Amino acid sequence: MGFFIDPCLIRPLFALCILSIVFATSSSAAGAKTRHFKWEVEYMHWSPDGLESVVMGINGQFPGPTIRARAGDTVHVELTNKLHTEGVVIHWHGIRQIGTPWADGTASISQCAINPGETFVYRFKVDRAGTYFYHGHYGMQRSAGLYGSLIVDVAEGEKEPFHYDGEFNILLSDWWHKSSHEQEVDLSSNPMRWIVPQQQRECRLRGNEQYAPHILRVQPNKTYRLRIASSTALASLNLGIGKHKLVVVEADGNYLQPVSVDNIDIYSGESYSVLFTTNQDPSNNYWLSINVRGREPKTPPALTILNYSPTSASRLPNSPPPVSPRWDDYGSSKAFSNKILALTGTPKPPTTSDRRIVLLNTQNFIDGHTKWAINNVSLVLPPTPYLGSIRFGLSNAFDQKRPPDNFKHDYDVMRPAPNQNTTSGNGVYVLRFNTTIDVILQNANALRANVSEIHPWHLHGHDFWILGYGEGKFTESDVQKFNLKNPPYRNTAVIFPYGWTALRFVADNPGVWAFHCHIEPHLHMGMGVVFAEGVRRVKRIPNEALACGLTGKLLMNNVHK
């Protein structure tokens, strides 16, 4: 299984990057604002990595425009679909959509896809400062390039719990040379065809290319906040800056106990803020380097330069790029994960849970097609979005059989399954409103012996507490080791090969929420589940979100004369 990260693909988004801001010294009386955006999604020619491709852009930009707002603001995006034959939706990754579950931007789950030529209004509150992003959530449109940054600053008059003099914002992505449509066909084929990297090219840059890396220009002896989010289709990454320590202070919109590291792992779906201080020799420049984790890298690192003013940006660093851990050094990954702890003041988990759902992650076959399954069900989303079909009690819209809360107790997670066949389904985990749910993500051997992969799982509509990571099969005694004191509060958590990860969350957000591996091909192959909670409490869902499938039928019935 190949993969690649293009060396030109670190794409810091500078459109709204602001250097040397001093926040929060003056507090104005101004309250929350509504931030209006008018976007058109369309395909366009672009060279994400030097080879011209067709990408899905927004308003002629790739990646899409950065949204910048303050905590408490309302974001109002009028999204017009200018594609010719494809529907589209946009998911606001990390925004919990409290009270607006229809704005979560998940086709088949929260809304009907927006038809070509039509406009849908995403209107939602960004209730909490943090580093977020947005992306397509229909078919594999994220892989087609539909993504951008969403940055929420603290409310006016509020302060971040750390100081910095300026900031940069990097949205990480990987780019593959087959169209997302072709990737879908490849992945669905029998035998499956995995995404393959293109030949390496040399990046000879003049600096004005669409794929030229953005230089990070800094002043000496300042502290910078580097926001990093990963929208990669596939790649797990590690970022470092030569000779500079990184102090991790935020993850997925929640503050952390500051922790100093030499480099940082970022999985698809995660976001971080790290601080670094420009305390090195200002007559040199320094490499910012990004390497691949968890799969054998077939590509050189992605590079850009930290450029100390007034040194020329064209001066190459005299120290080598920082070294990432080896791709398969999971020890360092785990050590890093275990260092991520919530800052005091972060909401604490309830001390007990009402229900435990254990989700076994397996790779399987259906009629010879390679799939991923959770507790032996490979997710195939229904044409009618759940939010509407559950709200209106349409029992024929999806499998009414509830998927299992556990897997067979004698399943050996360390070996290939004796029977590797599975079945597809689209049943829903219905969570009792306001109850506390534990989810144990249980990794296992994939199809081939001695292979177990990393999966970053992302939950919509909530943050969860990561109570712990473990090796092998989760057992009842592991509960004793749960961190209930300062577990990080996040929306994405990884499971390591042959390991488990324990999560806790409160089902207090009426809606229907995807929970899935954020690796786009894995989701395409069925690696996800659907949670529903308090759907009867959901207020008026806009008709536009319901105008398809069985809800569309229902609402149109008996009206047509």
Distance CA 14, CA 94 (A): 21
Residue 111 contacts residue 102 (beta carbons within 8 Å) = yes
Tokens of 102: 């229809």
Contact residues toward a copy of itself (CB under 8 A) are 43-45, 54, 84-88, 107-108, 112-113, 115-118, 138-141, 179, 181-182, 184-185, 189, 381-383, 540-541, 543-544, 546-549, 552-553, 555-560
Residue 129 contacts residue 154 (beta carbons within 8 Å) = yes
Distance CA 506, CA 470 (A): 22
The least distance separating a copy of itself from the CB of residue 359, rounded to whole angstroms, comes to 24
Strand partners for 36: 76
CA-based angle 154:74:511, to the nearest 5? 105
The least distance separating a copy of itself from the CB of residue 96, rounded to whole angstroms, comes to 25
Tokens of 64: 């899409």
Tokens of 380: 């195939």
Nearer CB in complex with a copy of itself: 116/317:
116
Task: Return phi, psi of residue 254, to 5°.
Answer: -125, 140
Nearer CB in complex with a copy of itself: 152/519:
519
Nearer CB in complex with a copy of itself: 195/381:
381
The least distance separating a copy of itself from the CB of residue 536, rounded to whole angstroms, comes to 13
The least distance separating a copy of itself from the CB of residue 385, rounded to whole angstroms, comes to 11
- Exposure of 7 by Cβ count < 10 A (0-12 exposed, 13-18 middle, 19+ buried)? buried
Amino acid at 20: S
Nearer CB in complex with a copy of itself: 103/381:
381
Residue 277 contacts residue 365 (beta carbons within 8 Å) = no
CA dihedral 201, 218, 11, 253 (to 10 degrees): 140
Residue 502 contacts residue 490 (beta carbons within 8 Å) = no
The least distance separating a copy of itself from the CB of residue 65, rounded to whole angstroms, comes to 20
Our measurement of the distance from residue 22's CA atom to the centroid of its chain's CA atoms, rounded to an integer in Å, reads 29
3-state SS assignment for residue 334: helix
Nearer CB in complex with a copy of itself: 158/182:
182
Best CA proximity match to 73, nearest among 148, 12, 125: 125
The least distance separating a copy of itself from the CB of residue 426, rounded to whole angstroms, comes to 10
Tokens of 366: 């259906």
Best CA proximity match to 150, nearest among 166, 175, 128: 128
Best CA proximity match to 73, nearest among 156, 158, 161: 156
Could you tell me where the beta strands, DSSP code E, fall in 432-548? 436-442, 455-459, 464-471, 489-490, 492-495, 499-506, 511-517, 528-533
Nearer CB in complex with a copy of itself: 18/555:
555
Best CA proximity match to 175, nearest among 41, 54, 13: 54
The least distance separating a copy of itself from the CB of residue 203, rounded to whole angstroms, comes to 24
The least distance separating a copy of itself from the CB of residue 289, rounded to whole angstroms, comes to 33
The least distance separating a copy of itself from the CB of residue 552, rounded to whole angstroms, comes to 5
Nearer CB in complex with a copy of itself: 503/517:
517
Nearer CB in complex with a copy of itself: 244/518:
518
Nearer CB in complex with a copy of itself: 335/556:
556
Please name the residues in contact with 553: beta carbons below 8 A apart, sequence gap of 6 or more. Answer: none
The least distance separating a copy of itself from the CB of residue 84, rounded to whole angstroms, comes to 4
- Exposure of 314 by Cβ count < 10 A (0-12 exposed, 13-18 middle, 19+ buried)? exposed
Nearer CB in complex with a copy of itself: 140/494:
140
Residue 461 contacts residue 96 (beta carbons within 8 Å) = yes
Nearer CB in complex with a copy of itself: 309/543:
543
The least distance separating a copy of itself from the CB of residue 49, rounded to whole angstroms, comes to 17
Our measurement of the distance from residue 420's CA atom to the centroid of its chain's CA atoms, rounded to an integer in Å, reads 29
Nearer CB in complex with a copy of itself: 108/285:
108
The least distance separating a copy of itself from the CB of residue 535, rounded to whole angstroms, comes to 15
Residue labelled with tokens 């005299």: 318
The three state secondary structure string of 511-538 is: EEEEEEECCHHHHHCCCEEEEEECHHHC
The least distance separating a copy of itself from the CB of residue 492, rounded to whole angstroms, comes to 24
DSSP state of 421: B
Nearer CB in complex with a copy of itself: 84/409:
84
